[in-house]
Homo-oligomer: A and B are copies of this chain.
Amino acid sequence: MAKDKKKKPMRPKALPPKGFRDYFGAEVSQRNEMLEAITGVYHRYGFDALESSGVETVEALGKFLPDVDRPNAGVFAWQDEDDAWMALRYDLTAPLARVYAQHRNELPTPYRRYSTGPVWRNEKPGPGRYRQFYQCDADTVGSSSMAADAEICSLLSDTLEAVGIPRGDYIIRVNNRKVLDGVLETIGLTEDNQDIKEGVLRTIDKADKLDRQQLLALLTSGRKDSSGAFIDGVGLQLQQAEGVLDFIASTGGDNQETLELLSQVIGDSAIGQKGLEELEEIALLLKAQGYQEDRIKLDASVVRGLGYYTGPVYEAELTFEILDEKGRKRQFGSVAGGGRYDDLVERFTGQKVPATGVSIGVDRLLAALREKGRMDHTAKGPVVVTVMDRDRMADYQAMVAELRNAGIRAEVYLGNPKNFGNQLKYADKRESPVAVIQGGDELAAGVVQIKDLALGARLSAEIETSEEWKAQPAQMEIKRADLVAEVRAMIKRAGGETDA
């Protein structure tokens, strides 16, 4: 027994699982603010909120991840005590299909819904790549009208502007899978070549990172990548591969020109023709609402990686430049994408239910807004009421109560008050705008000291005693009765804000 007691206890590691992380303070509130702005636009467009659970049955989720190379990986799954398999949702679209199939008799048709929340992917984590992240989706289920697709595009445009991406800094590109199908038909690939079609899709999806020769190699017999590894080709003949590349290069200066270029590459294909008509209709609807090619344009190079799209596909790209990790300029890139998927609900019901929608990569968009300086960086730390006399905690609490009731964020120092310097360091760490001090002398005189910490911040690291600190110029003695008014005035002078 004595021996056991001496043994060092096994302690759990204070770490989240690999690939998960925590978000603190402004990271959380900025994301919430952005999501509120986004869902505000969604709501104004008539979309209704839906929150499904994070857990679904594996059979209901199905496998619709972009990573078709590992069809059995990608989700976190486990068995219930009844041996039923459950899994964390990997996106918000698969749960929507389940919800719509389940509640279709009570829901309006068409059903416009938005959802926002975490999704989980059981993938290898990497820099900036986490296994839990947020999505924010808007979908319309039950409408085959191209007006539904056009609406998703205008919704996306309005949303980007609402969160603070100025017009000119983004572009929404629109294409149609049916046009691609037409091209494949024209070059001699039929519906039976599903594997080849998906190989073509994945290759085109990487087109912006590779040159024409590399793409031709990938579409035909394969190529060695920069690491020397051989990547299998899709297996097209050279002429077919050239047909595919001609297609993705068919973007003109405006939508009219793009439509003409596309009509050349689809030849006589009926499905291609149908896709072209759909694009034309979307372009027309958008134009009528004033969305010109500077915001939303047809673009033959967009295909989206997901296999389940059946018609229009769209992608929102941020076009302003940032510096990459090596200091090179590059465009910020894609922050949202989506398209029409007419088959997802059919899995459950056996009946085709047309659907179209978009998913915003919340963390990517948030990073973009920070990059553009669109997130509020005003210090929003609380006023800190310091504790000079630990027996007078009730007085200090009364001060913070007054400040809070006036809408000013405030707190009393709750650590060990013995070392006053620690209280100031604490206020610093909290990015506090103002500290309040009342010792015995001040109490007797009916006054308090208030201190502008933004002004005093530069010196605070060297200050150890309250005496030195009081000598700084940013400090004022005010009447106790004027506490709220004077603190508010000091915060405003420093450029901050209070709730009221």
- Which residues of A does B touch, CB under 8 Å? 9, 11-18, 20-25, 27-29, 32, 40, 43-46, 48-57, 59-60, 62, 76-78, 80-82, 84, 86, 88, 98-99, 101-103, 108-110, 112, 118, 120, 122, 131-132, 140, 142-143, 145, 147-148, 150-151, 154, 158, 284-285, 287-290, 347-350, 382, 384, 393-395, 397-398, 400-401, 404, 407-412, 414-415, 426, 429-430, 499
Contact = CB atoms under 8 A, between A and B. Distances in A.
Contacts of A28: 49-51
A46 B15 contact: no
A397 B289 contact: yes
B147 A46 contact: no
Given A14-B348, A54-B132, A108-B430, A410 B78 contact: no
Contacts of A99: 22
Given A20-B53, A27-B51, A109-B426, 16 more contacts: A14-B348, A16-B57, A17-B53, A18-B80, A22-B52, A23-B51, A24-B50, A27-B49, A29-B49, A46-B410, A54-B54, A55-B132, A76-B86, A110-B414, A110-B415, A143-B415
A14 B151 contact: no
A21 B53 contact: yes
B148 A347 contact: no
Instruction: Indicate how many identical chains form the complex.
Output: 2
A347 B54 contact: no
A147 B397 contact: yes
- Main SS of chain A's interface residues? mixed
B147 A393 contact: yes
B409 A17 contact: no
A16 B404 contact: no
A499 B44 contact: yes
Given A142-B415, A429-B108, A394 B16 contact: no
A17 B57 contact: yes
B54 A118 contact: yes
20 contacts: A12-B60, A12-B62, A13-B57, A14-B348, A15-B57, A16-B52, A16-B98, A22-B51, A22-B103, A24-B48, A24-B50, A24-B103, A28-B49, A46-B409, A76-B86, A81-B122, A154-B401, A287-B394, A289-B394, A290-B401
A47 to B, nearest CB: 8
Nearest to A499: B44
A142 B132 CA distance: 29
A56 B285 contact: no
Contacts of A84: 17-18
A44 B401 contact: no
Nearest to A59: B12
Nearest to A142: B415
Contact of A12 (B52, B348, B384): B348
Contacts of A82: 18
A170 to B, nearest CB: 19
